[in-house]
Amino acid sequence: MSQNTLLGSFLSNRENRILISSLVAIAAIIVAVNFAERETTDLVANLLYIPVNLFFATTSVILTIRTKEKTLRKFLVFYSFAAISWFVAEQYWTVLELVYHEDVFPSLADLFYLLGYVGLFGALISIVFPRLRQISIDVKLIGIIVSVFFLIPSVVLTSTVLEDDPLARALSLSYPILDSGLLWFASVILMGFTWKKNELMYYLTFGILFFIIADTYFVVSSADETYYVGDPFEIFWLWSYVLFAFAAYRGIKSASIFDNILKRTDIDIRKVRLPLKYRTLLTTGIVVVTSLITISLLNSFKFSLLSSNEEKVIIPAIYISLIFVSISTITGLLFSKKYTSLKSEFEHKLAGDMPSISYEIAMVERQIQMLETRNKKNSIITLMSIVILVSVLLTYSSMSFIESSESSRLATGRFTIENLKGDKISTWVTWHVPKDEQLQVTIINSPGLSDERINAIKEAIVSERSIILENSFVNKYPPNEKSVFYEGWSGALRSISEKTEYPIPTNFLVTTSEKSIGDIIIILSTAREADNTYGFTRSIADEESNQMLKSFITIYNADNLNQVELSAIVRHEFGHALGLVHSTDSEDLMYPIFHSTHAVISECDLDAMISLYNGAKSTEVVCRH
C-alpha cells in the first residue's frame, strides 16, 4: 500500500479527521499564547491540560465499564489507571502552580505521574507479552539497543541538573529510565507488528513517541534553564494525551479497533531475523553499554549519601556483580552459538541414518548434554549476580532516598574560645588579616578518607557557588519567595567583603597534612562523642585585642558520615572558626541541630558576619523572617 493510499485511508475516517483537527488546534493555541505575556502563557497552558486529560480519563473509564471481554478488560483497566493518574497529576500541578504558587517539583504530582507510567506499562505488557515468543529475538534486541542509546544522553543530561534533595534526585532519574522502557515497547511494536488495519498501534506508538520527545526536551531545557510552562514543546505532551484518548474513543465507537488484542494470531507479527554473529554483537553491546550506564548512574550520585565504611562494602559488590553479569551473559551467548552448531550437526548426522556414524551421533549427544549442563550453571551464576546487584542497589537506594527526617539532622557539640593561657573566655573575636591575605586551612585525615570526601570538605570552605532556593525549602517566610544561599564560605564572604569596616577573610588555602600547621586545623577523627555530637571547635585568641589566632575543628565519627553530612558539619564548624556562635533560628546552618540537606550559608549568617566585622562586638546569629 502506497503512502498516499495509506494516508487517504486514514483520513477517510471521520474520527481520524477529528483527531487531526484536535492536534492542529492544540498546536495553534500553544504557539499563539507564546506571543502573549508570560502570566497568560502559564495560565492558558496549565488550563489546557484539564480538558485534554479529562477526555483521556473519561473515554478510558467509559470503555472499561462497557467492556465484558476478560482479555480486553485487563488492557483497559491498566489504561484507565494511567489516564486517571495523569489526570490527577496534571490537576495537582495546576493547583500548586496557579493557586498556591509553590514549587511543583518534587511534589505529590510526581507520585501520580509515576503511577501513570505503571498503568501504561501494564497496558502495553498485556498487548506485547502474549506475543513475545512470536516476536523474534532480533526485534527485542534492537528495541533494547534503541532504548539504551536513548537512555545514555538522558542520564548524562539529568545528572547535570541533579537536585540536592535525595528524593528529587531519584525522581529526576526515574523519568528518563521509564521513558526508555516505553521506547522499547514502541520499538517492538513498530518493528514487530504489521500495521494493516491496526489503528490502535498508530495511536499508542505515536502517543509514546510524542511523550518521550516532550520528556527529553524537558530534560534538555532544564539543563540550560530555558524551560517554562507553555513552552512550544509542550505540544507533544498534549498530543500524546490526545492520541491515548482517541484509542479509547475509537473503542467506544467501534470495538473492532481491539480485534488484534483479542485474536492474538501470527498474522500481525513481522518475521525479522538477524545472523547469529550480529545477534551476538548486539547482545554483547547491550551488556557493556548497560553496565556503563549503571556505573555512570551510580557515579552521578557520587555515592555522596554513603559513609566511607559503607562505600567499602557496597561499591565493590556493585562492580563485582556487574563484571559477573557481563561475563556470564557473554559466556551464555557463546554457549548458545555452540549449542546451535551442535544441534545442526546432530540433526544432519541423524538424517544420514548410517550405522557407521552412530558413534559420532552419540559423541555429539554427549557434547550437547555437557553444554546444556554448563549453560544451566552459567544461568545460575548470571541470576545470582543479578540478584546480588539488585539487592545492593536496593540497599543503596533505601539508605540514600528513604532516610527518616531524624537521621538527616546533625548535632554539633561545644564551641569554646581560650586565651593564650588556656583559660576559657567569653567574648567576641575576629581574624585580623590584611585584605586578600590567605588563611591556611589544614585537614588532618586520620581515618584515611577518600579524595572525593576531602574535596567535599574543601568545597564547603572554598566554593564560590551560590544557589537560589524557595524559602519553603528551608522553612523561611514568606514561603513563595526566593533567597540566595552559598555552598562555601569563600564565596559567601566575598559577597560581603566590601560591606565591612575591618577586612574579612575571603582567601583560604586548604591543604592536607599530618601536622597541625596553619591557621585553622580540621581534624577528622573516628572517635565518637558520648552525646552523639559530630563537631567541636576550639579557638585560641588574644583576649586584649579580640584577635583570633588559631582554630581547631574536630569532626567526630568521620568514617561513618556521608559526603553531604561531612560538608554540612564542616560548614557549620567553620562558621565558629570565623567567629560566629549559634543561631536563634532552628532552620539555620549555625543552629546547634540542623538539617544536612539545608546546611547552606544564609543571608542572616552573613548579616552576623557583617555586624561582627563592623565592630558590633556581637557574635550571635539572629535570623529575622
Give the DSSP H or E segment for 494: helix 489-494
Which pLDDT score is estimated for 300?
Answer: 52
Under 8 Å between Cβ of 577 and 550: no
pLDDT tens-digit map of 404-448: 434 456 777 778 899 888 888 888 888 988 887 889 999 998 888
Separation between Cα atoms, residue 532 and residue 65, nearest integer Å: 59
Confidence of residue 401 (pLDDT cuts 50, 70, 90): very low
What would the grid cell of residue 129 be? 507479552
Residue 57, helix vs strand vs coil: helix
* Higher pLDDT among residues 314 and 100, named by residue: 100
Q: Residue 402: its pLDDT value, please?
A: 45
Percent above pLDDT 70 for the chain: 70
The number of CA neighbours under 13 Å toward the Cβ of 2 is: 3
Q: Which residue has the higher pLDDT, 388 or 406?
A: 388
Which residue has 467509559 as its cell numbers?
62
Residue 394, Cβ density class (10 Å: 0-12 exposed, 13-18 middle, ≥19 buried): exposed
If pLDDT is split at 50, 70 and 90, which confidence band does 621 have? Answer: low
Cα(300)–Cα(160) distance, integer angstroms: 8
- pLDDT beyond 70 at 297: no
Which has the higher per-residue pLDDT, 89 or 386?
89
Pair 204, 124: CB distance under 8 Å: yes
User: What's the pLDDT score for residue 406?
Assistant: 41
Give 99's pLDDT tier (boundaries 50, 70, 90): confident
Q: Which three cell numbers stand for residue 230?
A: 507553555
Residue 225: what are its φ and ψ, rounded to 5°? 55, 40
Which of the four pLDDT bands, split at 50, 70 and 90, describes residue 473? low
Query: Average pLDDT over the chain, rounded to whole?
Result: 78
- In angstroms, the CA 241 to CA 185 distance is 17
pLDDT at res. 239: 93
The DSSP bridge pattern shows strands 593-595 and 507-512 to be unpaired
Task: Report whether 293 contacts 152 (CB < 8 A).
Answer: yes
Q: What is the pLDDT of residues 121-166, one digit of tens each?
A: 998 888 888 777 777 777 777 787 788 777 766 766 665 554 555 5
State pTM to two decimals.
0.55
Cα distances (Å, whole numbers) of residue 221 to 81, 151, 154, 469, 617: 29, 17, 12, 19, 48
The three grid cell numbers given for residue 612, joined into one nine-digit string = 561582627
Q: Which of 95-99, 191-195, 523-527 has the highest mean pLDDT?
A: 523-527
Residue 560 is classified by DSSP as G
Q: pLDDT tier at 397 (50, 70, 90 boundaries)? A: low
Burial 175-202 (b: 16+ CB within 10 A, else e): bbbbbbbbbbbbbbbbbbbeeeebbbbb
Work out the percent of the chain whose per-residue pLDDT is above 90.
20
Q: Residue 421 and residue 418: Cα distance in Å, rounded?
A: 8
What's the confidence (pLDDT) of residue 404? 40
Task: Look at 203-207, 316-320, 495-499 and tell me which has the smallest mean pLDDT.
Answer: 316-320
Asked if residue 230 has pLDDT above 60, the reply is: yes
Report the pLDDT value the prediction gives residue 1, as an integer from 0 to 100.
Answer: 46
User: What is the average pLDDT across 38-51?
Assistant: 88
Cα separations in angstroms, 303 against 299, 344, 400, 570:
7, 49, 9, 19
Describe the crossing of helices 358-401 and 166-192 by its angle, rounded to 10 degrees. Answer: 150
What is the mean pLDDT of the segment spanning 500-526?
91
Give 570's pLDDT tier (boundaries 50, 70, 90).
very high
pLDDT in tens, 174-202: 888 888 889 888 888 877 776 555 667 77
